[in-house]
Structure 1
Amino acid sequence: MHQNPESGLIQLANGAWAWLAPGNSWGWSNAGLISDGEESLLVDTLYDLALTGQMLDKMRDAEPLANDIDTLVNTHANGDHCHGNELVSGAEIIASAASAAEMAELTPDAMAAIVAMAPDMGEMGRYFLDCFGRFKFDGITFTPPTKTFEGEMHMTVGDKPVELIEVGPAHTRGDILVHSTKDRVVYTGDILFIEGTPIIWEGPVGNWIKACQMIEAMDVDHIVPGHGPITDKHGVAQVRQYLEYVRDQARSRYDAGMDAFEAAKDIELAEYSAWSDPERIAVNVDSLYREFRGEKEASDVFELFARMAALAGYDVPTP
């Protein structure tokens, strides 16, 4: 896991904050806070209640309006961006309709059950625990969105205009960007992994590339990724270029008749090998192959974790 050079609560503008995790690997996610007048909006919660509680305490110390958060926006369905929702009591919780449906498919209880089974799953289970074993999924009450939208949603926080822009399906089915125009800040959720390998759970990759291009065209000073340090347009371009590179490399191997896992092992990651979790190439190539074939149904997630574990050096039997 790469360590973030800064972590904790970072002030970006008057009434705009970023919460940065200490690292950028599995489950270590970022969040944000926008406040103005008498209103506040939280962008994402964290993977478990302890992490979310720590973040909220720091926000409340720095910004009195965080003591009574009016609105919580979940950028997408992955638990490291929504499992702490129950701690923002009384807030309206907003997400895209696609994200709200996807959240219900892997609840905190389900994640706790998989972690409990992992010790009996051999080396793949060991890899899974190395990724997720430090988080506590027991005792979390699944707290879904109370309001959903499709496309775009425009709102205000005090006198600040805030735009919610749906750019998924990409990383997941319903990814959104949160753009606070007055603050010149965009919170990107997992459209951006900085110094970490993006993972294409859903696709199509073209949507993700377009989302990066949208961010590159924005008039902003601060870009807060879902994972990793605060970045700039150059960081966005690097993510886009990774996606384009992997798409093109996977396509040539698909056309040559190579299977998805062989292709993932064969692709030379070059400068991208220094990013954390490079083994995610296994999921990315699998998703691209599904896209090339026109298949909608996702691959078995345990098989995908077995492939990643093998690429990460765990002794996992693979086809």
Structure 2
Amino acid sequence: MTINRANVSAIAEDLHVWLPPKRGWGLANCGLLASATTALWIDTPYDPVLASEFLAASRRLLADGVTVDRVIVTHANGDHLWGAGVVPDAEVISTREALEHIHYEPTPKQQHALVAGSDPASPIGGYLQEHFGRFDWSATEPVHPDTVFTGELELRVGEYPVQLTSLPAAHTGGDLIVHLPRQSTVFAGDVIFGSTPEQPGDHPSHWAGPLENVIAACERILATGAGIIVPGHGPVLDRDGVRAHIAYLEYVRERAHALHAAGIPALDAARRVIAEQRHPELGLPERLVLTVAAEYRHLDGSEAPNVLEAMTQVAVVAREIAEDAAHARRLFPDVGYRA
């Protein structure tokens, strides 16, 4: 995959954000906070190719002799963590709870073998190769945090305070937010997936939940008073953008609870929410399979499937959506459809 010349923009004093110039699985936003003596990353790109591009862009912005010596990881999904290998001497910081999520996911090399070796004719094989085949983890070693914490942790980057707050399980077990008060900015990780009318994003995918916790985390971000919110994916938001995201989450929560009360199985409930097309501007609607399933688990106490089982359901629904769209195009060729 080549996403060179990704958008590295200054958004506040000595603060830059790396925004991949497209949306999709694995294309996470990352931050660089620099001072005259030290610098840190907030999250990393998914694979060494992308991470090396971000590192090269970071070095161009740093004073002579300054290196990226700390990496804050908002959660332990690989698309925010695995790129830390390009700065092997940096201190990696996460919540203590994130350590458990690292063991929940495949290692980078396992995931690479799974994607490369999957049958493209099967729903899961075709989906993995379409959305993850662009990444290369063939030589990527697992990344283990050096410093873990619970509650709150305050750091300094030169004169700038950096406030880390761990969250109850939301997107994953082990999320944190990063508040930079001098820059009036919060890095939200995947508690928020950004979308604006000008730059539509993707549907969120939440592995842990419940959505009540995700909403509470969004409200906690607003409570900081920050005016700039960097989501884990998608465009940078203002405070109104966060409020719009809360409204989306409340809608999904309400529908999941109503369908659960009606006895509709989780997978069929996700299909129904997708069919309502409440947010047709968002990509990857099949990811609602993950979010609805997580909400159901909190309602009925069921066990979480492994990652491959969950992604197989996502892939099946994605194929259904594509087939329905293709059928509609054949019936009504003059009407625009989005798969």
TM-score, structure 1 normalization:
0.91
Higher relative contact order (CA 8 A, sep 6+): 1
**2:191 corresponding residue in structure 1:** 191
1:65-97 alpha-carbon deviations (Å, 9 max, x no partner): 785112111111111101111111221110001
**2:75 corresponding residue in structure 1:** 76
Distance change (3 Å), C-alpha of 1:315 and 1:31: closer
1:206-242 alpha-carbon deviations (Å, 9 max, x no partner): 1111011111222223211110111111221222122
The answer (yes or no) to whether the contact 1:37–1:159 under 8 Å persists in 2 is: no
Structure 2 unmatched runs, 5+: 195-200, 323-339
1:81-135 alpha-carbon deviations (Å, 9 max, x no partner): 0111111122111000111232244221221121133226712210121111100
The answer (yes or no) to whether the contact 1:39–1:65 under 8 Å persists in 2 is: no
Quick one: distance in 1 between partners of 2:27 and 2:35? Answer: 28
**2:279 corresponding residue in structure 1:** 272
**1:126 corresponding residue in structure 2:** 126
The answer (yes or no) to whether the contact 2:228–2:239 under 8 Å persists in 1 is: no
The answer (yes or no) to whether the contact 1:35–1:65 under 8 Å persists in 2 is: no
Is the counterpart of residue 240 in structure 1 residue 240 in structure 2? no
1:257-289 alpha-carbon deviations (Å, 9 max, x no partner): 111111111125444232111111111111111
Distance change (3 Å), C-alpha of 1:218 and 1:284: same
**1:101 corresponding residue in structure 2:** 100
Q: 1:286 aligns with which of 293, 297, 310?
A: 293
Distance change (3 Å), C-alpha of 1:61 and 1:311: same
Quick one: distance in 2 between partners of 1:223 and 1:66? Answer: 30
1:31-59 alpha-carbon deviations (Å, 9 max, x no partner): 00112241211111111001000011011
SS of the aligned residue for 1:64 comes to coil
Quick one: distance in 1 between partners of 2:240 and 2:65? Answer: 32
SS of the aligned residue for 2:183 comes to coil
SS of the aligned residue for 2:235 comes to coil
How much identity, in percent, do the aligned residues show? 34
Distance change (3 Å), C-alpha of 1:117 and 1:123: same
**2:197 corresponding residue in structure 1:** none
Is the counterpart of residue 20 in structure 1 residue 19 in structure 2? yes
SS of the aligned residue for 1:309 comes to helix
Distance change (3 Å), C-alpha of 1:168 and 1:129: farther
Quick one: distance in 1 between partners of 2:22 and 2:66? Answer: 26
SS of the aligned residue for 1:200 comes to coil
Distance change (3 Å), C-alpha of 1:145 and 1:310: same
**1:113 corresponding residue in structure 2:** 113
Distance change (3 Å), C-alpha of 1:308 and 1:65: farther
Q: Counterpart amino acid of 1:288?
A: E
Is the counterpart of residue 226 in structure 1 residue 232 in structure 2? yes
SS of the aligned residue for 1:179 comes to strand
Shift, 1:305, TM fit: 2.1
Quick one: distance in 1 between partners of 2:144 and 2:165? Answer: 19
SS of the aligned residue for 1:284 comes to helix
**2:44 corresponding residue in structure 1:** 45
Q: State the number of aligned residues.
A: 311
Shift, 1:147, TM fit: 0.5
The answer (yes or no) to whether the contact 1:49–1:140 under 8 Å persists in 2 is: yes
Q: 1:208 aligns with which of 209, 214, 224?
A: 214
In the TM superposition, 1:147-166 aligns within 5 A as 147-166=147-166
Distance change (3 Å), C-alpha of 1:42 and 1:66: farther
Is the counterpart of residue 257 in structure 1 residue 263 in structure 2? yes
1:268-317 alpha-carbon deviations (Å, 9 max, x no partner): 5444232111111111111111110133x31243332232223323599x
Shift, 1:14, TM fit: 2.1
Extract structure 1 runs of 4+ deviating beyond 6 A.
none
The answer (yes or no) to whether the contact 1:40–1:66 under 8 Å persists in 2 is: no
TM-score, structure 2 normalization:
0.86
Between 298-307 and 50-59, report the one with greater CA deviation: 298-307
**2:56 corresponding residue in structure 1:** 57
Structure 1 unmatched runs, 5+: none
Q: Counterpart amino acid of 1:263?
A: A
The answer (yes or no) to whether the contact 2:37–2:66 under 8 Å persists in 1 is: no
The answer (yes or no) to whether the contact 1:167–1:175 under 8 Å persists in 2 is: yes
**2:182 corresponding residue in structure 1:** 182
